[in-house]
Amino acid sequence: MTYKREPSRQPVAWVLVADRARARFFQSAWPLNSKLDEIATLVHPEGQAREQDVLTDGPGRFAEFAAGPHSGEPRTDHRHRTAMDFAQVVVERLEKGRVSNAFGHLVIVAPALYLGVLRQTLGGPLAKLVDHEISKDLTHLSARELLPMLKDDMQLNPAKS
């Protein structure tokens, strides 16, 4: 009789704390212990910019299938577009860590809009490593301030199975 079992996971956790403009990567032992080390930071300046500072003053021209060329506003607004662009970069960094077996558990902390975009962008193997998702904007906190908040939230909302 054979049993299918999950491969053992690295006892290291990465904590991603991100929004549309900045992503901070932390590392800790799993379950989260008393130490949280910042290992990388990615910055996306366009995510902080206001829409009117990035776009031109008039509506653009574009073409859609079966509608032909026309002018107007694009279907994706500035906030979602910058979130999607930056999510691609963040997920590429996470995927490099997964492939190199740098972590076995992932905690994602992000505001609701960005968390949703990240969920859509994560690939299957990477999504399996996500143990907790926290829908808050905590990018402004230091590692020392962040750790107790993470522990509290993780106790209130146990890991998904």
The answer to whether position 4 is within a domain reads no
Query: How many domains is the chain built from?
Result: 1
Contact 106, 131 (CB under 8 A): yes
Taking a C-beta distance cutoff of 8 angstroms, is the pair 73, 84 a contact? no
pTM, whole model, 2 decimals? 0.78
Q: Residue with structure tokens 């997964």?
A: 98
C-alpha angle 141-98-29 in degrees, rounded to nearest 5: 50
> At CB < 8 A and 24+ separation, what contacts does 39-46 make?
39/14, 40/93, 42/86, 42/89, 42/90, 42/93, 44/20, 44/82, 44/85, 44/86, 44/89, 45/21, 46/21, 46/82, 46/85, 46/86
Is residue 144 assigned to a domain? yes
Does some domain include residue 110?
Answer: yes
Q: pLDDT tens for residues 79-128? A: 788 889 999 999 999 999 999 999 999 999 999 999 999 999 998 899 99
Element (H or E) spanning 72, and its range?
Answer: strand 68-72
Measure the CA–CA gap between 124 and 98, rounded to whole angstroms: 12
Give yes or no for residue 58 having a pLDDT over 60: no
| Residue-number span of the structural domain to which 22 is assigned | 18-45+77-156
Closest by CA position to 132, among listed 115, 149, 109: 109
Residue 23 lies in a domain: yes
Compare 48 and 98 and report the one with higher pLDDT: 98
Name the more confident of 105 and 62: 105
Domain contains 90? yes
| Share of residues in the chain with pLDDT > 90 (%) | 55
CATH number for the domain that contains residue 129: 3.30.420.60
